[in-house]
Copies of this chain bind each other. A is one copy, B any other.
Amino acid sequence: MVRAGLSTERLVLAGAELADEAGFDQVTVSALARRFDVKVASLYSHLKSSRDLKTRIALLALEELADRAAEALAGRAGKDALRAFADAYRDYAREHPGRYQAARFRLDPETAAASAGGRHAQMTRAILRGYDLTEPEQTHAVRMLGSVFHGYVDLEAAGGFSHSAPDSQESWTRILDALDALLRAWPAP
């Protein structure tokens, strides 16, 4: 019997691909076993559980997303940085819908703390260096930007903006314009 050559990394990667193809909720150990033409139980040498698999895919997605955002941010500032960062986010979600869903998977607190989640907040804060905000207003702004990006991408993925004018791309552009204007004229408390 030829061995399939399973490993945790290969399984997680295949799981991420499966998520993008069929949706994160279709990611099951059974589906993964079928994909490798292997019996389900065989995966349990490499994965602790179904939840373990999902957690690892989520961590992968968070990492990839942070990498992309970091690359987008490099060498940019102000509105340019804002746009590049936001686009990195949105593009990732459009190219990898399943992975993006995975990134929204509820991790347990300690896993979340060790994840790339912190980098995301850090980068959002970096964008704000191009604007003139004091603490704690900066934190409020970080939270607002995170909300808009996540909320928009999520609603767009849900098809919220698909069958109506104007184009989603146009709204996205205008919203980023508006956010830039807002950050430049952030109201005093």
Q: Chain A interface mostly helix, strand, loop or mixed?
A: helix
What is the CA–CA distance of A181 and B187 in the complex, to the nearest angstrom?
7
Judge whether B146 and A178 touch: CB under 8 Å. no
B147 near A175 with CB under 8 A, answer: yes
- A92 within 8 Å of B by Cβ? no
Q: B181 touching A137 by the CB < 8 A rule?
A: no
Give A181 to B106 CA distance when docked, in angstroms. Answer: 33
Query: 13 A–B contact pairs at CB < 8 A?
Result: A136-B166, A140-B178, A144-B175, A147-B147, A147-B150, A147-B175, A148-B148, A150-B151, A150-B155, A151-B154, A181-B182, A181-B185, A182-B182
Q: List residues of chain B with CB within 8 A of the CB of A160.
A: 143, 146
Q: How many interface residues does chain A have, given as a range?
A: 35 or more
Tell me if B187 and A139 are in contact (CB < 8 A): no
Residues of B within 8 A of A146 (CB): 151, 155, 160
